[in-house]
Structure 1
Amino acid sequence: MSAQTLKLLSFSGKIKILHMTWIAFFISFVVWFNHAPLMLVIAQTLHMSGSQIKTILILNVALTIPARIVIGILVDKFGPKRTYSTLLGAGSIPCFMFAFATSFEQLALARFLLGFIGAGFVIGIRMVGEWFPARQVGIAEGIYGGWGNFGSAAAAGILPTLALLYGGPEGWRYAIATTGAIALIYSVIYFFSVSDTPKGSTYFKPKKAGAMEVTSKGGLFFYILMTIPLYVTLSLLTWKLSPEGVSLFSNFVATCIYIIIWILFLYNVYKIVHVNREHLKHPIAEIHKYKFKQVAILDLAYLITFGSELAVVSMLPLFFFETFGKTQGISMVEAGLLGGSFAFINLLARPIGGWISDKFGRKFSLSIFVLGLSAGYFCMSLIDSKWSITLAVLLTMACSCFVSGGCGAVYAIVPLIKRRMTGQIAGMVGAYGNVGGVLFLTVLSFVSAPVFFMIIAAAGLCVLLSVQFIDEPKGHMAEIQEDGTVEMIELG
């Protein structure tokens, strides 16, 4: 039904924009995760220790949290065409650095910088939201997110094959460099193949850059409050890289980084107040208002959906091996393939989640998905060595359907809050997904896998309660054109 509605086999108009944009996202994720399937051979080449391998994995996500906020600001100001093209082109540079690094320090710096390309997801949310009407935006965003996100899984299959084709002990270098070259070439193709809006439409930009505009003093306070977990998570990542974790740097350096992080928080608070101070002094017409609680609730919903997905995908292969390795004789490779079933579902479940949101209502759909994932994780906490592998995998895939569908349902709402700030809203919501991944993996380091699943299930029920306070998008949102006239954008 969705294919007929959107005519996905077409390559013109809004369908062309959708295809060009999910491919850009796909490439950005291939580049972002190009190290993962080759990590062991990279470690052998550069004689890396287990601690250094863990460091590289942490550094890969460290910059993505602030990057999603920054990219959200840039896409709203400069438009998705220029922002995506620039990100892909610029992202190829640290990719080449990583490919030809000759020391751990060079490798670590390049991986840290590559975290920025992981923020590319935010850009396409604004682009797709500009081209598709509210009645189709859910499934369009779901296709964009689901098919693009598959780049991480594709990297796992493509990169080892490329390395073997190049041959030799350093074939991995040319395989990784190839992904950088593809990103660089596609950055040019994308720039000359798309436009920010359909012909005749206005690209609405924020009045001020640097922070999101709010339309009430309560929203201002709520906005500041919701930024705190982002800086807490960056501090947590710093702790993991300190002598308390993998010892990438000394306690003195860690302390300096903590200070920098919280100075940046204070500066962010200043920017939030500065951007909003003047217009909040005057009455704001009702048609121009939006409720920041919509953003906050979507932050939490993406924390539990995509955040849990990030964490579970990382630990599931080892969980399956430790659970079934001795009793049912599965190997690490087989456990990895079984664990991959969780992420594979994303390819279809995200678009379906967006379509269900379009069809049956945003709030109702998101509620069902969050309830389903809570039940799924609770059931996964009961898996032990006495279960059949088939039943365990089927349960895992069923849970993943709700998790990925929930991701699609979240981003079916994001473009319907305030058009000119869609990038910033998408950036903040996306950052919370990474926050969830870091928090849940930190929890996992202190508890057993069954308790880990139980904690996610309990967190899901708390988020489910918060979702009941979200307002169903309906009617119209108002945006002001450059000549001062007001344009009403339909929400349903």
Structure 2
Amino acid sequence: MLQGLLSFKGPFRILNLSWFAFFLTFIVWFNYAPFSTTIQQDLGLTVSQARIISLCNLALTIPASIIIGMLLDRFGPRITFSSILVYAAFPTLAFACAQDFNQLVLSRLAMGIVGSGFVVGIRLVTEWFPPEEIGFAQGIYAGWGNFGSFAAEAVLPSIAAATAFLSVGETNWRLTIALTGIVAAIFGVIFYFNVQDTPPGKVYQRPARNGAMEVTSAQSFWALLLANIPLFGALALIVWRLQKANFLTTNIMYGIWAGLIALYLIQAYKTWEVNREVVTGQKDYPTEKRYQISQVFVLQLAYAVTFGSEIAVVSMLPEFFENTFNLNQAIAGPIAAMFPLMNLISRPTGGLISDKIGSRKWTLTFLIAGVALGYLILSQITANWPLPVVIVTIMLCAFFVFGAAGATFGIVSLIKREVTGQIAGNVGAYGSIGAVTYATFYSFLPQEIAGNHTFFQVLGGAAAIVCLLCVLILKEPKTSESEELADTAMLVGH
């Protein structure tokens, strides 16, 4: 398969274009983290305000992941991904031109939509690769795409420093951030004209009804309604945090909360409309066509403690190294980038192991156990630790974090083909829920070593709980023999 990646033909051409599109969305989404302290100083922000901006970066990713999943299943990956890439230029330019805290918050809120681009490639790669290769293919897509967070932290500060002569400050963060959005928009056009939704002759399967996720039993309907509550709860948490920062008044906060409750009720009604016949017993799915929401929910939690923790950790690591080891930004940024760097290796490895080991369930369980242990070890880091030891420890922890994320989506793609986009959207949204929850918690911690210890302990404890749920609830995914044979036959020669 690695030889195929270099051929840029058939499914590998789609895979390469997809991961690079995802790569660019992550550069855009993470273009604030390496400049957080610089922007804080330039615009006179408090530590709390700087952390709130990171939190806002995640807010709209939650509903956007659900909406993008629906649009993806209806319109296909080519149009959906191209639109996200072109859209990325607008909030990026707005952020680059921001002059105060309020403008920064609004532009980062809009930027959150870009972070939902991940779910598009999940469906696209699923269409082009057979089930026995899907874990590794998804790992390449997600791992190399996630590499964008590394590029943002490792490369963007260097570009800003190199173009400093064009700005008033020490680094030209505004031009650097603006360039990320412009490049994304240009590639969005390239993506549109060079990608197809499915291989030649293969029909793109769409859900029978749009507007909400299809379930296959009445029990799954009620479970889905419960699983959707945290999606709106995380948004309510962000609104509360903005009110505490005096960005919103109390009355506006209550008004937005009321709006979120109304949106949840509307979504619940749409879910009822789509699944009315199943809930009332008028429609009965055969056993081979059913899937359990409980499996989706465990995967949602798995992604919350893997991808969600990744987002939170990547956002705080530059500050962590600057404050703990007294490093400047030019050094702290690249060192912090060692964490997302592991995406290149661990996420494809997690997917490959999931493909080859014979048990996707136990692969995911083992990797999440490593996540729990890794974060608990990080919680013991102090300024007395040798810096090389800290870097190696962080990279080992990252291996399990990204490997588990890859193994999660090695299962997601095999649950039910017609609604892969919506399932991926829901799982991806829980990744953002995890990130919002962790980032909100971190925003209240003191800017000192004790606060970092507490933060990593919480990450490790949450991962341990999800590991136990994987053992008790998660089941081995099954793909129908007819679907597998059809996919394999369709992809022969590509």
Match for residue 18 of structure 2 among 14, 17, 21: 21
- What residue in structure 1 maps to residue 61 of structure 2? 64
- What residue in structure 1 maps to residue 156 of structure 2? 159
Aligned partners of 1:63 and 1:115 also within 8 Å: yes
Distance 1:166 1:79, change over 3 A: farther
Per the alignment, in what secondary structure is the counterpart of residue 355 of structure 2? helix
- What residue in structure 2 maps to residue 314 of structure 1? 315
Structure 1 range deviating more: 270-279 or 8-17? 270-279
- Compute the displacement of 1:175 (Å): 2.9
Instruction: Find the aligned partners of 2:38 and 2:144 in 1 and give their Cα distance.
Output: 28
Per-residue CA distance 1:259-284 (angstroms, 9 max, x = gap): 11111111111111121112442222
Instruction: Find the aligned partners of 1:368 and 1:237 in 2 and give their Cα distance.
Output: 32
Instruction: Find the aligned partners of 1:467 and 1:77 in 2 and give their Cα distance.
Output: 31
Query: Is 1:221–2:222 an aligned residue pair?
Result: yes
Per the alignment, in what secondary structure is the counterpart of residue 210 of structure 2? coil
- What residue in structure 1 maps to residue 393 of structure 2? 395
Aligned partners of 1:287 and 1:477 also within 8 Å: no
Match for residue 460 of structure 2 among 457, 461, 464: 457
- Compute the displacement of 1:20 (Å): 0.5
Distance 1:119 1:477, change over 3 A: farther
Query: Is 1:210–2:205 an aligned residue pair?
Result: no
Query: Is 1:30–2:33 an aligned residue pair?
Result: no
Match for residue 435 of structure 2 among 431, 434, 437: 437
Instruction: Find the aligned partners of 2:41 and 2:380 in 1 and give their Cα distance.
Output: 38
- Compute the displacement of 1:414 (Å): 0.9
- What residue in structure 1 maps to residue 492 of structure 2? none
- Compute the displacement of 1:43 (Å): 5.1
- What residue in structure 2 maps to residue 409 of structure 1? 407
Aligned partners of 1:166 and 1:175 also within 8 Å: no
Query: Is 1:123–2:120 an aligned residue pair?
Result: yes
Distance 1:161 1:390, change over 3 A: closer
Aligned partners of 1:373 and 1:402 also within 8 Å: yes
- Compute the displacement of 1:390 (Å): 2.9
Aligned partners of 1:302 and 1:407 also within 8 Å: yes
- What residue in structure 1 maps to residue 474 of structure 2? 470
- Compute the displacement of 1:106 (Å): 3.8
- Compute the displacement of 1:174 (Å): 3.3
- Compute the displacement of 1:488 (Å): 6.3
Distance 1:32 1:441, change over 3 A: closer
Per the alignment, in what secondary structure is the counterpart of residue 215 of structure 2? coil
- Compute the displacement of 1:393 (Å): 2.5
Match for residue 358 of structure 1 among 331, 355, 358: 355
Aligned partners of 2:415 and 2:479 also within 8 Å: no
Instruction: Find the aligned partners of 2:306 and 2:167 in 1 and give their Cα distance.
Output: 39
- What residue in structure 1 maps to residue 345 of structure 2? 348
- What residue in structure 1 maps to residue 198 of structure 2? 197
Query: Is 1:377–2:375 an aligned residue pair?
Result: yes
Aligned partners of 2:33 and 2:315 also within 8 Å: no
Aligned partners of 1:139 and 1:355 also within 8 Å: yes
Query: Is 1:262–2:265 an aligned residue pair?
Result: no
- Compute the displacement of 1:387 (Å): 3.5
- What residue in structure 2 maps to residue 182 of structure 1? 183
Unaligned runs of 5+ in 2: 489-494
Per-residue CA distance 1:208-247 (angstroms, 9 max, x = gap): 11111111111111111111111111111111100x2x22
Instruction: Find the aligned partners of 1:306 and 1:406 in 2 and give their Cα distance.
Output: 9
Aligned partners of 1:342 and 1:400 also within 8 Å: yes
Structure 1 range deviating more: 231-240 or 392-401? 392-401
Q: Spell out the pairing of 1:96-107 with structure 2 (5 A cutoff).
A: 96-102=93-99, 104-107=101-104
Instruction: Find the aligned partners of 2:242 and 2:124 in 1 and give their Cα distance.
Output: 36
Distance 1:319 1:423, change over 3 A: same
- Compute the displacement of 1:437 (Å): 1.5
Instruction: Find the aligned partners of 2:311 and 2:150 in 1 and give their Cα distance.
Output: 12
Runs of 4+ in 1 over 6 A off after TM superposition: none
Aligned partners of 2:154 and 2:337 also within 8 Å: no
Aligned partners of 2:55 and 2:436 also within 8 Å: no
Per-residue CA distance 1:252-305 (angstroms, 9 max, x = gap): 111111111111111111111121112442222222211112211100111111
Match for residue 112 of structure 1 among 109, 129, 152: 109
Query: Is 1:253–2:256 an aligned residue pair?
Result: no
Instruction: Find the aligned partners of 1:17 and 1:341 in 2 and give their Cα distance.
Output: 28
The root-mean-square deviation of aligned C-alpha atoms, in Å, is 2.5
Per the alignment, in what secondary structure is the counterpart of residue 206 of structure 1? coil
- Compute the displacement of 1:38 (Å): 3.6
Structure 1 range deviating more: 176-185 or 61-70? 176-185
Distance 1:206 1:475, change over 3 A: closer
Per the alignment, in what secondary structure is the counterpart of residue 8 of structure 1? helix
Equivalent residue pairs, number: 476
Unaligned runs of 5+ in 1: 480-485
Distance 1:159 1:396, change over 3 A: closer
Instruction: Find the aligned partners of 1:190 and 1:321 in 2 and give their Cα distance.
Output: 38
Aligned partners of 1:476 and 1:488 also within 8 Å: no
Instruction: Find the aligned partners of 1:174 and 1:392 in 2 and give their Cα distance.
Output: 33
- Compute the displacement of 1:60 (Å): 1.4
Match for residue 84 of structure 2 among 80, 83, 87: 87
Distance 1:98 1:449, change over 3 A: closer
Q: Which amino acid aligns with 1:274?
A: E
Q: TM-score, normalised by structure 1?
A: 0.90
Aligned partners of 2:414 and 2:479 also within 8 Å: no
Q: Which amino acid aligns with 2:86?
A: G
Distance 1:165 1:393, change over 3 A: closer
- Compute the displacement of 1:39 (Å): 4.3
Distance 1:398 1:175, change over 3 A: closer
- Compute the displacement of 1:386 (Å): 4.3
